[in-house]
Amino acid sequence: MKRRETLKTITLSSLGLAGLNPQVAEADKLMLPDEPVKVPGGRQKFEAIRDAKLKLDKFFTPHELQTVTILADIIIPADSKSGSASQAGVPAFIEFMMKDQPRMQTPMRGGLRWLDNQCTKRYGKPFALCPKTQQIEMVDMIAYPEQAKPEVSQGVAFFNMMRGFVATGFFTSKMGIEDIGYKGNTPNNWEGVPEDVLKQYGLSYDG
Amino acid sequence: MNDFQIKKAAKVYDVAIVGSGAGGGMAAYTLSKAGANVVLLEAGGYYDPKDPKYITQLKWPYESPRRGAGTTRPFGDFDAAWGGWEIEGEPYTSKPGTEFHWFRSRMLGGRTNHWGRISLRFGPDDFKRKSLTGIGEDWPIGYDDVSPYYDRVDKLIGVFGSKENIRNEPDGIFLPPPRPRLHELMLKKAAKGLNIPVIPSRLSILTKPINEERGQCFYCAQCGRACQVYADFSSSSVLVIPALKTGKVTLINNAMVREVTTDQNTGKASGVSYVDTVSMKEMSVQAKVVVLAASACESARLLLNSKSQRFPNGLANSSNVIGKYLNDSTGASRGAFVPALMDRKRYNEDGVGGMHVFTPWWLDNSKLDFPRGYHIEYWGGMGMPAYGFGWGIEGLNGKIPGRDGKPKPAGGYGASLKDDFRRFYGAYVGMAGRGEPVPLESNYCEIDPNTVDKYGIPVLRFHYKWSDYEVKQAKHMQDTFEEIIHSMGGIALGNKPTAENNYGLEAPGKIIHEVGTVRMGSDPKTSALNKFQQAHDVKNLFVVDAGAFPSQGDKNVTWTILACSMRTSEYITDQVKQNNL
Ligand SMILES: Cc1cc2nc3c(=O)[nH]c(=O)nc-3n(C[C@H](O)[C@H](O)[C@H](O)COP(=O)(O)OP(=O)(O)OC[C@H]3O[C@@H](n4cnc5c(N)ncnc54)[C@H](O)[C@@H]3O)c2cc1C
Ligand code: SF4
């Protein structure tokens, strides 16, 4: 048996999750090169094989990726404290999630199409090719769920999803974790809430 | 080669144990220390929390391409559970109109590698619910029978907590508890005003070292990933691996037990047959005593599948009770946003892997419209960002004025949105009730007549519906949660669950505390096991998981599995000495 076939048998029978859930089954369709997959610490073998396959696949077209990148940086731009969503690698994370959880593909691809279609109707061009002012005008129509007009409700749903992906992607990146100021994930000794914080909230450990 | 030729090992072990989770790990530990030759069969692979091959502890979200999303592991990429609600090739089914969710881990240590470490003793009343309320079932034993074993489990494994002298929430032998986090102090203060007690939690985590083999907690909040210095309790690190060091235990991984075999002449168990899941070969081992610890439902499945001429109903099932009275904890939850916690000063508040405080059941059911209680678990704080961070902020940021004190429209983007994430970080809390259901004969698992797994083993079919008791309890939970949230000045998130959705009562099985399927009792007509968890019908057969428990208290069950497994293991040793098995 060639290695490729061996891998296929391994994933389908003993290790794979084909048939378990569509997310996981999807990965089985892809082919791996003939090098053995290295299993990183903390992963099960079937997960390592699956991840390797997903990384070989591509979901977004260059145009879609460009649109996602523009939207990501509108949602989380650089400021005095940290960089932008794209600088933190958010588009690549979204690309991976599309392959990892294929049920997200239609809302994402369809949402991008919806956006391009709206922009073409209004401005004669797809979103990515519109000037910044028009992009922002469009985003303003869908970024505020409680103010948006009913006729753009699908755009609101799409933007909510985009906002969620961008926030998760940014704040789980190294840059985003530094920005948010998370101080843990390191050996330490928990001795309680710092004294000045207790004082600020009028709390104590004696009461 | 003929795969169907069953390979029989010549050796006869003193004891065969099926499953290496809480129940099986404790049995292997206790019996091997007492000198027995043990064979331990585990359906999953080998796992050791300190082996870099398996370590996920202290990894960052960006070390996972999906940032920890739960695509292949239900509790996220870094969680130490191999398996989940569904396992490829190992289906289960449910009867139309009913629902049960079954979480299984296939690995050394079972579900104890990633469990919540909430380690509560049952109280005296929890063993005597029928006598006290007229419904449900009494245990054939009481608190006094188990309490010496709880003491020994406390000392052997380690648990932190505080002496509270609450009658039905017995104190243990505790290590010092960690101090509450900021939101926990606020919850405590809010609840106090409502006469709801909030006390230090009781988790099996070593806040002080207890022996040479295990380290001390270094407060990373990641017990769900299993602790590489063995500072939390996993059956793998704390029981099985030490048991292996006695040299008395033969561990067979990837051994999916199919049946308990019996000697048709004596009617005694003779060992087990299993499938080697790697080679797919049929194997068997022989033993003088068989101990099942495959988890409540799986042990029932094994017995029901062990049919023979002598035991046409399944093994140890002359009562016909096996599979029945399946019950899981109730669960309902609510989240909240606490404006007072906005713009917090940043510091490391990871703490231990779990809550530092909780609420034990505090009310008198005779004054309520439902018969059993619940405890409340809390969460919140400045945790490590994970997949899901920031989703849904449009449901909240329109309710919170900006830095300039002016209202902002919900949703948005850009610098002001980025600032909201910073301001809101660490200002969320949540709470979940975990309650006791009333065990019912009509809630059960049975063998599905039409379905087998990939090993050809007939699978379980579930039939489970909550009764009014549990729904009313969930309603009470929701009212309590809102009171606590409002009293701490919080904004409850989402809509309050209503009768239409059973007040947010989770589907059966979701709380992962299944018990009752092979219950013990004094009457062989209504129970499968006697008070030592020994089969009434087959004296050398024992069940040491929660299948044996007639009810489950408003406590999580694992500490009781451990204590009872230790008790049964010592009974086995004693009976072997007396030649009674
Ligand atoms: C996320 C989570 C959080 C939890 N939190 C808590 C908590 O805070 N407090 C608490 O008390 N409880 C908690 N629990 C429940 C706790 O994990 C279980 O009560 C406990 O692990 C049950 O122990 P057990 O030995 O019966 O079964 P398990 O731990 O499930 O072990 C059973 C073992 O048997 C093996 N096995 C099954 N079938 C076979 C077979 N046919 N042949 C061979 N081997 C087999 C399995 O692979 C497994 O390793 C939690 C569970 C989960 C999933
Ligand atoms: S919180 Fe403590 S016991 Fe839990 S994994 Fe971290 S160091 Fe280990």
- Name the band, by pLDDT with cuts 50, 70 and 90, for residue B186: very high
- Name the band, by pLDDT with cuts 50, 70 and 90, for residue A26: low
- pLDDT of B525 over the 70 cut: yes
Q: What percentage of chain B carries pLDDT values higher than 70?
A: 99
Amino acid at A43: R
Q: How many CB atoms lie within 10 A of CB B134?
A: 8
- pLDDT of A31 over the 70 cut: no
**Chain A nearest C-alpha distance from B512 (Å):** 20
Best residue among B229, B233, B234, B355 to mutate for probing ligand 2, ranked by most atoms within 8 Å of CB? B229
Quick one: which H or E segment has residue B428?
strand B428-435
- Name the band, by pLDDT with cuts 50, 70 and 90, for residue B481: very high
Mean pLDDT of the B61-76 span: 97
CA-B218 nearest atom, ligand 2: 7
- pLDDT of B172 over the 50 cut: yes
Cβ contacts of B68 on chain A, cutoff 8 Å: 172
Burial label for A184, CB within 10 Å (0-12, 13-18, 19+), is buried
- pLDDT of A61 over the 50 cut: yes
Cβ contacts of A93 on chain B, cutoff 8 Å: 65, 67
Task: Determine contact, residues B489/B283, Cβ cutoff 8 Å.
Answer: no
Q: How far apart are CA B305 and CA B118, in angstroms?
A: 33
Q: Which residues have C-beta within 8 Å of that of residue B487, sequence separation ≥ 6?
A: B190, B191, B193, B194
Instruction: Give the torsion through C-alpha atoms of B18, B23, B29, B30, to 10 deg.
Output: -110
For residue A100, give the nearest of B66, B348, B393 by CB distance. B66
Q: Which residue of A has its CA nearest to B423?
A: A180
- pLDDT of B560 over the 90 cut: yes
Q: Which residue of A has its CA nearest to B382?
A: A182
Q: Which residue of B has its CA nearest to A180?
A: B422
Whose CA is closest to B536, among B522, B549, B550?
B522
Measured from the CB, is residue B85 less than 6 Å from ligand 2? Answer: no
The CA-CA-CA angle for residues B249, B562, B99, to 5°, reads: 110
Distances (CA, A) of B427 to A22, B333, B542: 36, 17, 49
Residue-wise pLDDT tens digits, B295-342: 999 999 999 999 999 999 999 999 999 999 999 999 999 999 999 999
Residue-wise pLDDT tens digits, B216-263: 999 999 999 999 999 999 999 999 999 999 999 999 999 999 999 999
Q: Which two tokens stand for residue B350?
A: 């990871």
Residue B382 forms contact with A (CB below 8 Å): yes
Task: Determine contact, residues B373/B365, Cβ cutoff 8 Å.
Answer: yes
CA-B217 nearest atom, ligand 2: 2
Residue-wise pLDDT tens digits, B98-146: 999 999 999 999 999 999 999 999 999 999 999 999 999 999 999 999 9
- Name the band, by pLDDT with cuts 50, 70 and 90, for residue A35: confident
Q: Which residues pair with B337 in a beta bridge?
A: B428, B491
Whose CA is closest to B569, among B101, B35, B3?
B35
Residue B179 gets the label, from left (phi > 0), alpha (psi -120 to 50) or beta, of: beta
Whose CA is closest to B448, among B83, B18, B95?
B95
Q: How far apart are CA B262 and CA B540, in angstroms?
A: 10
Q: How far apart are CA B400 and CA B538, in angstroms?
A: 65
pLDDT reported for residue A206: 84
Residue-wise pLDDT tens digits, B415-427: 999 999 999 999 9
The CA-CA-CA angle for residues B496, B430, B473, to 5°, reads: 55
Task: Determine contact, residues B13/B286, Cβ cutoff 8 Å.
Answer: yes
- pLDDT of A16 over the 50 cut: no
Mean pLDDT of the A12-20 span: 34
Cβ contacts of B407 on chain A, cutoff 8 Å: none
Burial label for A171, CB within 10 Å (0-12, 13-18, 19+), is buried
- pLDDT of B4 over the 90 cut: no
| Cα–ligand 1 centroid distance for B335 (angstroms) | 27
| Cα–ligand 2 centroid distance for B556 (angstroms) | 20
Cβ contacts below 8 Å, chain A against chain B, sum to 209
The ligand that comes nearest to the alpha carbon of residue B377 is 1
pLDDT reported for residue A36: 80
pLDDT reported for residue B184: 98
pLDDT reported for residue A56: 94
Tokens 């129970």 correspond to what residue? B527
- pLDDT of A182 over the 60 cut: yes
Residue-wise pLDDT tens digits, B9-51: 779 999 999 999 999 999 999 999 999 999 999 999 999 999 9
- Name the band, by pLDDT with cuts 50, 70 and 90, for residue B8: confident
Sign of torsion over alpha carbons B162, B165, B166, B170 = positive
Task: Determine contact, residues B332/B432, Cβ cutoff 8 Å.
Answer: yes
Whose CA is closest to B542, among B28, B12, B11?
B28
Mean pLDDT of the B560-567 span: 98
Q: How far apart are CA B188 and CA B477, in angstroms?
A: 17
Amino acid at B517: T
Q: Do A193 and B82 lie within an 8 Å CB cutoff? A: no
Q: Do B418 and A139 lie within an 8 Å CB cutoff? A: no
Q: Which residues pair with B251 in a beta bridge?
A: B40
The ligand that comes nearest to the alpha carbon of residue B515 is 1
What are the E-state strand segments in B453-543? Answer: 458-463, 491-492, 541-543
| Average pLDDT value over all residues in chain A | 88
**Chain B nearest C-alpha distance from A17 (Å):** 5
Q: Do B412 and A176 lie within an 8 Å CB cutoff? A: no
| Average pLDDT value over all residues in chain B | 97
pLDDT reported for residue B360: 98
Mean pLDDT of the A155-171 span: 98
Q: How far apart are CA A184 and CA B383, in angstroms?
A: 8
Q: Do B412 and A164 lie within an 8 Å CB cutoff? A: no
Residue B200 forms contact with A (CB below 8 Å): no
Task: For B96, list phi and psi in degrees, rounded to 5.
Answer: -55, 140
Q: Do A144 and B182 lie within an 8 Å CB cutoff? A: no
Q: Which residues pair with B200 in a beta bridge?
A: B357
Q: How far apart are CA A73 and CA A83, in angstroms?
A: 9
Q: What does the domain layout of chain A look like in residue ranges?
A: 21-56
Whose CA is closest to B17, among B234, B301, B237, B285?
B285
- Name the band, by pLDDT with cuts 50, 70 and 90, for residue A3: very low
ipTM for the predicted complex comes to 0.94
Beta strands across the sheet bearing B458-463: B93-94, B458-463, B444-452
